[in-house]
Amino acid sequence: MTPQPPENRDKDAGRWSDLGRPPLNATALRRALVRPGSLWTSLDVVPVTGSTNTDLAERSSKDAAEGAVLVAEEQSAGRGRLDRTWSAPPRSGLFFSVYLTPRAPVARWGWLPLLAGVATATALARTAGVDTALKWPNDLLVTVDGAERKAGGILAERTEGGVVVGIGLNVTLTADELPVPTAGSLALAGARTTDRDPLLRAVLRSLEHWYGEWQTADGDPGASGLQAAYAAGCATLGREVRAELPGDTSLTGEAVAIDGDGRLVLATGEGVQQPVGAGDIIHLRATDGNGPARPQ
């Protein structure tokens, strides 16, 4: 066999430098997912990008068809809600975006990030054996050492022709690699597999299923079963929470329901039920029987 030039050996060494985190098999993923009759029309895996949402939104304005999937082994400028950044070591998670052009009424498109949460949580429970809960509106929670930890997030952004839905999920991050103490990963939650190929296939198939049900019901969250599924998996419901709202205001109360528009309904101390459509939700718990609530 002809010896490889030093520069090629260096590239291969870099590609496989962390054998516990092999690259995704783009060819196998396309073979499994991009098929006649499938929602998924293309699937590309790139080594690194700033943000898959940004890249796919730009592509959608040119020639991307519904069902385009863009996956990055590493994101250098991944974004979450409220302009928060999302970063992780290369090949330590799943960082991808999908392009959708719903035929459901635009007024119901706000359900898409919640739909993506239900799809991801059900896929992870089935494939990784990890009980994944939903924190309204778009966080994915796992339990690590008895405590809730954020292992993933969802960001949906409208484009000229549709919606780009981005999903970020920590898969093999170790405790030393976590960006903040409240973060987690599937590995730390005791996942029975951290092989990203079957995990990505499972999430995309689950997303296709739930999107199809929602589309068939013309975006009706009740008729499609989405509203009930989200409520069943939502860790926010039944909790005392503080909603930090736009305009530097806040509202504290018990989260009692998800309404037909996907809003979180809070029952306040004044006996008023107040829907919250946007804001940062903080789960609270009492320090003791008589003490004030504090973040959890």
Give the pLDDT mean for 148-164: 96
* Co-location of 181 and 277 in the same domain: no
With respect to residue 271, please indicate whether it lies within any of the assigned structural domains: yes
pLDDT at 196: 98
pLDDT band at 84 (very low <50, low <70, confident <90, very high): low
Of 256 and 86, the structure prediction assigns the larger pLDDT to 256
* Co-location of 161 and 111 in the same domain: yes
Distance from C-alpha of 278 to C-alpha of 267, rounded to nearest angstrom:
16
pLDDT band at 291 (very low <50, low <70, confident <90, very high): very low
* Co-location of 252 and 219 in the same domain: no
Q: 220: phi > 0 → left, psi -120 to 50 → alpha, else beta; which?
A: beta
Q: Tell me: the pLDDT tens digits for 257-285?
A: 999 999 999 999 888 999 999 889 999 96
Q: What is the count of structural domains for the chain?
A: 2
The tokens of 11 are what?
């590239």
Last residue of a domain, one of 233, 255, 274: 233
* Co-location of 51 and 111 in the same domain: yes
- The strand ranges marked E within 22-119 are 42-46, 68-72, 78-79, 85-86, 93-100
For residue 278, the enclosing domain spans 240-295
pLDDT band at 83 (very low <50, low <70, confident <90, very high): low
* Co-location of 217 and 271 in the same domain: no
pLDDT at 85: 62
pLDDT at 12 over 80: no
Last residue of a domain, one of 216, 233, 250: 233
Of 44 and 294, the structure prediction assigns the larger pLDDT to 44
pLDDT at 76: 81
With respect to residue 14, please indicate whether it lies within any of the assigned structural domains: no
* Co-location of 227 and 244 in the same domain: no
With respect to residue 57, please indicate whether it lies within any of the assigned structural domains: yes
* Co-location of 173 and 262 in the same domain: no
With respect to residue 3, please indicate whether it lies within any of the assigned structural domains: no
Last residue of a domain, one of 193, 209, 233: 233
Q: Tell me: the pLDDT tens digits for 235-246?
A: 999 999 999 998
Report the SS3 class of residue 207: helix
One-letter amino acid of 114? L
Q: What is the CATH number of the domain that holds 257?
A: 2.30.30.100
* Co-location of 168 and 148 in the same domain: yes
* Co-location of 196 and 257 in the same domain: no
* Co-location of 42 and 183 in the same domain: yes
Q: What is the CATH number of the domain that holds 189?
A: 3.30.930.10
* Co-location of 174 and 34 in the same domain: yes
With respect to residue 40, please indicate whether it lies within any of the assigned structural domains: yes
Residue 140: in which H helix or E strand, if any? Answer: strand 139-144
With respect to residue 65, please indicate whether it lies within any of the assigned structural domains: yes
With respect to residue 284, please indicate whether it lies within any of the assigned structural domains: yes
With respect to residue 10, please indicate whether it lies within any of the assigned structural domains: no
Give the pLDDT mean for 21-37: 97
* Co-location of 109 and 256 in the same domain: no
